[in-house]
Amino acid sequence: MITTRTNRLDPSLIPEEQLAELARVFALPGQVALIDENGNRTHLPHALFEHFARIVRLMSEHKAIVMVPEDEAFTTQAAADYLGMSRQHLVDLLENGEIPHHKVGTHRRVAFKDLLAYERVRDDRRRNALDRLTDQVIASGKYFPEPNSEPQE
């Protein structure tokens, strides 16, 4: 299990001027290249450039970054904290098969990628439910009341 201490990028460890310069460079359109001590030049692939640019921007805003691999195993408490729910509710979801998990001895573990997948499904369900509710309100004529109508009590 990875600890936050080893995966945390703390902006206070980089001089402010250096962060500002990196933020300026990563904000420019184009590519960034890495140059080693022998002068060998390697261009960053676009996908890495985008991630580095976001990391540098957030760090220049004094925000720490924590990197988590998708296959990282979370405890039930850490998974519940990530999803913003109680541990017991998360355990119920695990036991009902809504989120895959595995056991290490008697302890349940949840892969980060499975938390991300559940979060996407949950958010899609919420969005669809709100869309249906909005459609019902519009269909009932209550969403855009007549300008001269009296409010109902």
The token duo for 55 is 């990391």
CA triple 130-132-138, angle to 5 deg: 100
Residue 110 DSSP SS3: strand
- Together in a domain, 42 and 100: no
Cα–Cα separations (whole angstroms), residue 33 to 20, 30, 48, 110: 18, 10, 11, 37
Print the domain residue range for 10. 4-66
- State the Cα–Cα distance between residues 114 and 71, nearest whole angstrom: 9
Among residues 13, 46, 66, the one where a domain terminates is: 66
- Together in a domain, 59 and 83: no
Number of other residues whose CB lies within 10 A of the CB of residue 23: 16
pLDDT in tens, the chain (153 residues): 444 556 888 898 899 999 999 988 888 877 788 899 999 999 888 888 889 889 999 999 999 998 888 999 999 999 999 999 999 999 999 999 999 999 999 999 999 999 999 999 999 999 999 999 999 998 888 777 666 656 555
Among residues 24, 40, 66, the one where a domain terminates is: 66
- Together in a domain, 79 and 48: no
- Together in a domain, 60 and 80: no
